[in-house]
């Protein structure tokens, strides 16, 4: 094993795309410094602001919460109970234990209480339950963050997520998604500012940080997760990365630098429908009533 680039002791971890061998201590300092640099580079938020982190119980969101706390940011967590039996029970327990240890508030929203619905019930009625689940989470996270005056809502999306969804959106020329694919989106029209501080970290680096910090996280995937096309893109990106280390970061960073500004300028043109406010719940939406208010009615009459 090579020597640590910082202290010259034996290296424990090698980060291929940065060509960086590091010992455990220097790896965690590198991780936190690189996170801080990413936050500053994209002007995501400051230490004075109130940050709400969307927690799933998985490695990404908990690592992000830990690293932001270590850096002295003002954080609180939120988790949505999706009612996916043991999986949801376990995610909630892990998130609660983390919050207690970190001495930080964790807010829990229950889908059952909010709209009388769980994701398994949704799955019985529609094949699109997974994309609906994503939209439901975004709706409630945004609503909670705005109503409770958080400055920013952050999520644990990592480089693997961002590079594979960029590949999928490019292959399918989903211009409206490409025009919004940026590590930070400013607040507008009832949407709070959103940021993805882990967007330049691979899943491998995040797992290593979790190990060093002894973070307990849920390793199982959601049992309702379908064999999504998304995973095909993720496998393709992994293969490219293996053959050409640095491809993921280059693909994503160059997109942000060279292509995003061109698409972003034309964002209005790519939107299929203009935004309005739902006449029932008041939330921003492309239709009124919004999809949540429609779901509520549909499931009430079950
Ligand atoms: S994989 Fe599970 S938690 Fe994730 S969006 Fe699909 S149903 Fe929801
Ligand atoms: Zn070292
Ligand atoms: Zn509504």
Q: Which segments of the chain have a pLDDT < 70?
A: 1, 227-230, 301-302
pLDDT confidence of residue 18: 86
Q: Give the residue extent of every domain in the chain.
A: 24-234+245-271, 274-302
Taking alpha carbons only, the member of 133, 142, 134 closest to residue 191 is: 142
User: CA-CA distance, 295 to 289, in Å (whole number)?
Assistant: 10
Helix 85-102, helix 59-70: angle, nearest 10: 10
Residues in Cβ contact with 296 at an 8 Å cutoff, skipping those fewer than 6 apart: 115, 116, 117
pLDDT score, position 148 = 98
pLDDT at 243: 93
Q: Which ligand is closest to the CA of 23, given by its number? A: 2
Closest ligand relative to 222 C-alpha? 1
> In CATH, which of 2.40.50.140, 3.40.50.620, 3.40.50.970, 3.30.70.360 is domain 24-234+245-271?
3.40.50.620
Please check whether residue 179 is in contact with residue 139, taking contact to mean a CB–CB distance below 8 angstroms. Answer: no
Cβ atoms of residues 60 and 199 within 8 Å: no
Cα 131 to averaged position of ligand 1 atoms, centre (Å):
8
Distance CA 14, CA 193 (A): 34
Distance 284 CA to ligand 3 centre (A): 8
Nearest CA to ligand 1 atom 6: 130
> Is there a contact between 55 and 95 (Cβ–Cβ < 8 Å)?
yes
What 8-state DSSP symbol labels residue 127? T
Q: How much is the pLDDT for 266?
A: 82
CA 82 to centroid of ligand 1, rounded, Å: 9
Decide: 236 in ligand 1 pocket, CB within 6 A.
no
Preceding omega of 101 cis (within 30 degrees of 0)? no
In short, whether 223's Cβ falls inside 6 Å of ligand 1 is no
pLDDT of residue 229: 67
pLDDT confidence of residue 301? 58
* Calpha distance 60→107 (Å, rounded): 18
Distance of alpha carbon 35 from alpha carbon 66, whole angstroms: 12
- Candidates 221, 222, 220; CA nearest to 123 is 222
């Amino acid at each position: 094993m090579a020597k640590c680039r910082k202290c010259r002791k034996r290296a424990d971890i090698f980060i291929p795309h940065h060509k960086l061998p590091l010992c455990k201590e220097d790896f965690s300092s590198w991780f936190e410094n690189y996170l801080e640099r990413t936050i500053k580079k994209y002007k995501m938020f400051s230490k004075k602001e109130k940050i709400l982190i969307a927690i799933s119980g998985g490695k990404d969101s908990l690592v992000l919460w830990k690293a932001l706390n270590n850096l002295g940011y003002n954080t609180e967590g939120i988790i949505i109970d999706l009612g996916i039996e043991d999986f949801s029970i376990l995610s909630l327990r892990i998130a609660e234990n983390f919050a207690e240890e970190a001495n930080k508030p964790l807010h829990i929203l229950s889908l059952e209480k909010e709209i009388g619905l769980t994701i398994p019930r949704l799955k019985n009625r529609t094949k699109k339950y997974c994309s609906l689940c994503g939209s439901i989470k975004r709706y409630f996270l945004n609503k909670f963050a705005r109503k409770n005056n958080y400055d920013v809502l952050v999520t644990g999306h990592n480089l693997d997520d961002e590079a594979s969804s960029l590949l999928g959106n490019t292959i399918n020329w989903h211009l409206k998604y490409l025009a919004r694919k940026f590590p930070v989106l400013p607040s507008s029209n009832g949407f709070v500012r959103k940021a993805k501080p882990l967007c330049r970290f691979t899943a491998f680096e995040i797992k290593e940080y979790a190990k060093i910090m002894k973070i307990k996280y849920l390793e199982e995937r959601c049992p309702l997760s379908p064999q999504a096309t998304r995973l095909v893109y993720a496998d393709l990106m992994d293969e490219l990365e293996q053959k050409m280390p640095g491809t993921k970061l280059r693909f994503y960073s160059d997109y942000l630098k060279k292509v995003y500004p061109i698409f972003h300028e034309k964002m209005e043109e790519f939107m299929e429908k203009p935004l309005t406010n739902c006449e029932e719940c008041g939330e921003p939406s492309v239709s009124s009533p919004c999809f949540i208010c429609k779901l509520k009615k549909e499931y009430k009459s079950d």
